[in-house]
Amino acid sequence: MARLARGGGHRLGRSVAAAQPGLHSRLPPSHRHRLHPARGVQTRRSFPMRLDYMHWYRGLAMVYIIVWHSLTQTLDFSTPTARLLQSLLFNGTALFVFISGFLFAYLAPRYQWQGFMKKKALHVLLPYLVVSLPGILWRLTQLHHGVLPVDYVPAAVIDKPIPFVIWSLLTGFHIGPLWFVPFVCLLFLCSPLFHRLVASPALGAVTALALLVTLFTFRPQYNLNPLWSLLHFSGFYLLGIWVCRHRDHPWLTSTRLIGVLALLLAALVLWELRHPIPVAFSIQELLREGALRLNVNAAQKVVMCVLTLMLLRRVELRRYAWFPRTLLSRVAEYSFGIYFVHHYFMMVLGELTKRLPPIDMDARLLLVSLPHFILSMLASMALIYLVKLTTKTRSRYLVGV
């Protein structure tokens, strides 16, 4: 998941020189950072600490994912409104992978393999193990009482506690959303390759090829195969790297392009609603079919990744008063921790919502799904705040922030 360097402000510097005459003068101080004149990448000496619009993007993506997880626990997606939300919100992970790729490229001047992997081990892998402990114990209890959902679990580990724990940690099975961590660890291991691509002339071609793979593959069954996830999501990661490399180009603030992408996004949503593919459809099923099938939702998320960035860039440039900067910034600061812990609160709320009397699905959206989302978000942020308050900087080893 995306991680931003802490610190404030951006250093002044020159733009991409002759390639974009006059651009530097049109940007606010927060965007006037010095780039490598040939490659569009920053040098170490001129490295700025944070891009506000990407910070907000991370907070927005976290809200997006929590809303989706709340809907999956409270709706059956049987109404047109619910199906529209399903199309828009499913696969929000793509946004986070895109942000991760963008920030990896942005931080590339500071990249050192050993330091990079040490930080990821301490701030991602270690909190993953800590937060996983209650989930592992819960799954072992299910295993002991014979109520484990066996359709998800390989027969080779179903009656063996230690292999089962290892398999769970390698796939994220124990707590559903944590499947992302084994996958993102594979991205970390591939970081030397991605680092070479940041300034490579081949980046555009490699990104196009990876996106082609993304558009004709699907997520793995139950999200329990990190290698298949790496294959499917790498296109979004490389897209983030490519966009970061071109982030100061005028097209990123083009009103006309924003309109075109918005129309394309709407067309893809309508296409998916007319020709739906079940969200549980997996790459394994695609291979069993032996047929080529376009992943319309993945295409929609490719457009959404870029369009969201362009809109947030415009918000930053024009300083709209209505935009919730402070709220999104706080969510962004806590985002990794929210992702780690939110499902525990959702499990409790999910049990409570099961006891509610049946009501119309559209009414349920407002009366059940919305409170479910708000309570999950607030409880997660409150827990992270308490952990940070009591453990100070050591909280990064416990909840990742």
CA–CA separation, 326 vs 7, rounded Å? 16
CA–CA separation, 91 vs 300, rounded Å? 10
Phi-psi group of 256: left, alpha or beta (phi > 0 → left; psi -120 to 50 → alpha; rest → beta)? alpha
Give 334-396 as a 3 state SS string: HHHHHHHHHHHHHHHHHHHHCCCCCCCHHHHHHHHHHHHHHHHHHHHHHHHHHHHHHHHHHHH
Confidence of residue 253 (pLDDT cuts 50, 70, 90): confident
**Across 241-266, average pLDDT:** 94
**Across 311-340, average pLDDT:** 91
Q: Which amino acid is at 241?
A: I
**Across 253-276, average pLDDT:** 94
CA–CA separation, 15 vs 371, rounded Å? 46
Q: Of 29-43, 92-106, 147-161, 274-288, which has the strongest mean pLDDT?
A: 92-106
Q: What is the pLDDT of residue 48?
A: 56
Burial of 317 (0-12, 13-18, 19+ CB in 10 A): middle
In this structure, the number of other CB atoms found within 10 A of the CB of residue 234 comes to 23
383 vs 156: which has the higher pLDDT:
383
310 vs 76: which has the higher pLDDT:
310
Q: What is the pLDDT of residue 71?
A: 94
pLDDT tens per residue across span 12-68: 333 333 333 333 433 444 444 434 433 444 544 555 577 999 999 999 999 999 999
Please determine, for residue 164, whether its predicted confidence score (pLDDT) is greater than 90.
yes
pTM, rounded to two decimals: 0.86
pLDDT tens per residue across span 291-319: 889 999 999 999 999 999 999 999 998 88
Q: Cα angle vertex 145, ends 144, 148, to 5°?
A: 85
Q: What is the pLDDT of residue 11?
A: 34
Buried b (16+ CB within 10 A) or exposed e, 89-127: bbbbbbbbbbbbbbbbbbbbbeeeeeebeeebeebbbeb
**Across 257-284, average pLDDT:** 92
Nearest CA to 168 out of 184, 183, 179 is that of 179
User: Coil, strand, or helix at residue 166?
Assistant: helix
Q: What is the pLDDT of residue 47?
A: 54
Q: Which amino acid is at 372?
A: H
- Ranking 85-94, 142-151, 201-210, 249-258 by mean pLDDT, the lowest is 142-151
CA–CA separation, 301 vs 367, rounded Å? 28
How far, in whole angstroms, is CA 319 from its chain's centroid? 25
Burial of 38 (0-12, 13-18, 19+ CB in 10 A): exposed
Q: Mean pLDDT of all residues in the chain?
A: 86
Query: For residue 90, which phi and psi values (nearest 5 degrees)?
Result: -65, 140
Query: For residue 280, which phi and psi values (nearest 5 degrees)?
Result: -85, -5
Q: What is the pLDDT of residue 394?
A: 92
Q: What is the pLDDT of residue 291?
A: 81
Q: What is the pLDDT of residue 28?
A: 42
The two tokens of residue 275 are 């020709």
CA–CA separation, 47 vs 33, rounded Å? 8
